Amino acid sequence: MSTIAGDGRPLSLSLQILVLMSLLTVLPSLVLMMTSFTRIIIVLSILRQALGLQQTPPNQVLVGLALFLSVFVMKPSIDQIRDSAYTPYGAGQISIEEAISRSGTVLHGFMVKQTRQTDLKLFMDISKSPAIATPKDIPFAILLPAFVTSELKTAFQIGFLIFLPFLIIDLVVASTLMALGMVMLSPSIISMPFKLLLFVLVDGWALTMGSLAGSFSVT
């Protein structure tokens, strides 16, 4: 039973429920930040912005796509967590603490593979941590911010590459309208059909999803 530090008295049921509900509000966000979701949702948002579509696809669709693609990318890790933690715990072979520890080890390994060495070094220098012998020894307090920073950096790099062809279309359309003297006509209205046509012709959604899934090191 949970206790209050200092006097050893157990927490009342109402306080235990309050603590549990507080953890439930933070846990989903924390778990999402420890998976591939961050990179995927940012790239999809940049893609929508590059197409010039403010609310299409809507946010619910983008989040759904990011969640399903995240499950696909994380499937090897999910299977490993099921085999090493969930199944033994369900069979009563290990405790809940051991199951959580094994699950954390799997996520730790996934994050290490996606994190840049420079970002790890940055947060290790900030925290003045001693040298670490192996990647398994990296504490979560350092790995998590380094992982998120690496994911943001990678997402913006991919987004920049996605933005370039659509930016060229915008420049060509804007220059053409300027040469024709149509300065009062919004270039974005004219360029949007051309950007959508380009995106459809190259099978943009399949290309984007495949590139995002392939950008993760899951081996």
Q: Residues near 42 by Cβ (< 8 Å), separated by ≥ 6?
A: 151, 152, 155, 156, 159
Rounded to 5 degrees, φ, ψ at 5 are -60, 135
Q: Residues near 74 by Cβ (< 8 Å), separated by ≥ 6?
A: 35, 36, 110
**Structure-block tokens of residue 15:** 């306080």
Look at 125-134, 158-167, 203-212 and tell me which has the smallest mean pLDDT: 125-134
As a whole number of Å, the CA-based R_g of the chain is 23
Residue 2, pLDDT > 50, answer no
For the segment 53-101, what is each residue's pLDDT rounded down to a tens digit?
777 788 888 888 888 888 888 888 888 888 888 788 777 787 777 887 8
Residue 215, pLDDT > 60, answer yes
Helix 204-214 vs helix 37-51: angle between axes, to the nearest 10 degrees? 150
**Structure-block tokens of residue 173:** 């359309």
Report the distance separating Cα 218 and Cα 125, nearest Å.
27
For the segment 152-192, what is each residue's pLDDT rounded down to a tens digit?
999 999 888 888 888 888 888 888 877 777 767 677 777 88
Q: Name the amino acid, one letter, at 54.
A: Q
What is the pTM assigned to this prediction? 0.78
